Amino acid sequence: MARLSANPPRSLILEAGTAEERRELGLYWAASLNCSNPERPCLNCPVCTQIRVGFFRDLELVDGGEGTIGIDEARRIRSVMSDHPHGDGTRVILLAEAQELTVEAANALLKSMEEPLPGNVFALLVPVRQALLPTLISRSLVLTLSRVTASGVIDPETRNWLGSLADFALTGRGLFSRTGTKGSVDKALVLRIVTAMQQSLMARLHGQNVPDGLENFLSRLDHGRIFEVNCFLEDTVECLQVNANPALVLDTLALRLWMAAGQKS
Tens digit of each residue's pLDDT (9 = 90 or more) over 168-202: 999 999 999 999 999 899 888 898 888 888 878 87
Provide, rounded to the nearest whole percent, the portion of the chain with pLDDT above 90.
28
In terms of Cα–Cα distance, which of 153, 155, 174, 154 is closest to 165?
174
Q: Which residues contact 138 (CB under 8 A, 6 or more apart)?
A: none
pLDDT digits (tens, 9 = 90+) for 208-220: 777 767 888 888 8
Please give the CATH architecture assigned to the domain spanning 2-144: 3-Layer(aba) Sandwich (3.40)
Q: Where are the domains of the chain?
A: 2-144, 156-262
The whole-number pLDDT of residue 225 equals: 84
Q: Which residues contact 46 (CB under 8 A, 6 or more apart)?
A: none
Q: Is 216 helix (H, G, I), strand (E, B) or coil?
A: helix
135-138 long-range Cβ contacts below 8 angstroms, 24+ apart: 135/106, 135/107, 135/110, 136/11, 136/13, 136/106, 136/109, 136/110, 137/13
Query: In angstroms, rounded to a whole number, what is the distance separating the alpha carbons of residues 148 and 19?
Result: 13
pLDDT digits (tens, 9 = 90+) for 212-263: 678 888 888 888 888 888 889 888 988 887 888 999 999 999 999 999 887 6
156-262 folds as Zinc Finger, Delta Prime; domain 3 (1.20.272)
The yes-or-no verdict on residue 40 having pLDDT over 80 is: no
pTM exceeding the 0.75 threshold for the entire prediction = no
The yes-or-no verdict on residue 163 having pLDDT over 70 is: yes
Query: In angstroms, rounded to a whole number, what is the distance separating the alpha carbons of residues 256 and 179?
Result: 16
The whole-number pLDDT of residue 149 equals: 43
Query: In angstroms, rounded to a whole number, what is the distance separating the alpha carbons of residues 69 and 238?
Result: 18
| Exposed/middle/buried for residue 10 (C-beta within 10 Å: 0-12, 13-18, 19+) | middle
